[in-house]
Amino acid sequence: MRAEMPKQYLPVAGRAMVAHTLQALGRVSRLTATLVVLSRDDDRFEANVPAFDGERGWIARCGGATRATSVANGLAELATRGASPGDWVLVHDAARCMVRAEWIDGLIDECLEDEVGGLLALPLTDTLKQAHDGRVGATIDRTGKWAAQTPQMFRLGMLQAALASAGAEVTDEASAIEALGHRPKLVPGALENFKLTWKEDFDMAERLLLRR
């Protein structure tokens, strides 16, 4: 982003990106609480999300150098707050601020009775190219391929074991679960649930949020 602050605090439609994300999570009544995992030296959150508090709004400054470490630290924090190994946990990217409560509820409905859990994802529709020296090296078969989204929903104990086994470089929770030999459920998500990465993504998100 080449921004002067962490991108989760950049404004989108008049509010910090993370504020939109937390508003959507707050609308899911079945969530006992939402734990925000922050960098240890984060001094911006409370100013950007002043309404995030109370019994269902938890904060822990225990973030690590990688996503996997931050999630593992967050799971440990949940355990200290009374969560048990058998409890379901949903992990969500702050950068997916377009998420809707009904999509999260849909994921919960699909996974609640599942032995493993699952994630929101979208079947790929674009033709995929493998790059080589700035040119096309090969065309990759897109059949059966999905783009992973969040939330991703697994039981706390299983996810803790998976992350400990997979290591800090794993890029999402489902990958860690897969490494244990399990097969997470793919739950169709929405194109609008994209991760804000480039400046153009912020422009698109702002247009969509204002239209909502």
Predicted confidence (pLDDT) per residue in 18-42, tens digit: 999 999 999 999 999 999 999 999 9
pLDDT at residue 4 in the model: 85
pLDDT band with cut points at 50, 70 and 90 for residue 3: confident
Percent pLDDT > 90 in the chain is 94
Q: Which fold has domain 7-211?
A: Spore Coat Polysaccharide Biosynthesis Protein SpsA; Chain A (3.90.550)
Q: What is the mean pLDDT of residues 87-96?
A: 98
Sketch the domain layout of the chain as residue ranges. Answer: 7-211
The rounded distance, in Å, linking the Cα atoms of 141 and 143 is 6
Whether pLDDT at 1 is above 80: no
Whether pLDDT at 165 is above 80: yes
Percent pLDDT > 70 in the chain is 100
Q: Which one, of 91, 147, 193, lies nearest residue 205 by Cα?
A: 193
pLDDT at residue 2 in the model: 78
Q: What is the mean pLDDT of residues 126-139?
A: 97
> DSSP string of 114-159?
-SSEEEEEEE--SPEEEEETTEEEEEEP-TT-EEEEEEEEEEHHHH
Q: What is the mean pLDDT of residues 141-164?
A: 98
pLDDT band with cut points at 50, 70 and 90 for residue 197: very high
Using DSSP, state whether 91 is helix, strand or coil.
Answer: strand
Contact 15, 46 (CB under 8 A): no
Whether pLDDT at 212 is above 90: no
pTM to 2 decimal places: 0.95
The rounded distance, in Å, linking the Cα atoms of 166 and 176 is 5
φ/ψ of 137, rounded to 5, equals: -95, -30
Cα 184–Cα 185–Cα 186 angle in degrees, nearest 5: 120
Q: What is the mean pLDDT of residues 185-190?
A: 98
The rounded distance, in Å, linking the Cα atoms of 108 and 113 is 9
pLDDT at residue 184 in the model: 98
169-198 in b/e form (b: 16+ CB < 10 A) is: ebebbbbbbbeeeeebbbbebeeebbebee
- Quote the DSSP letter at residue 95: T
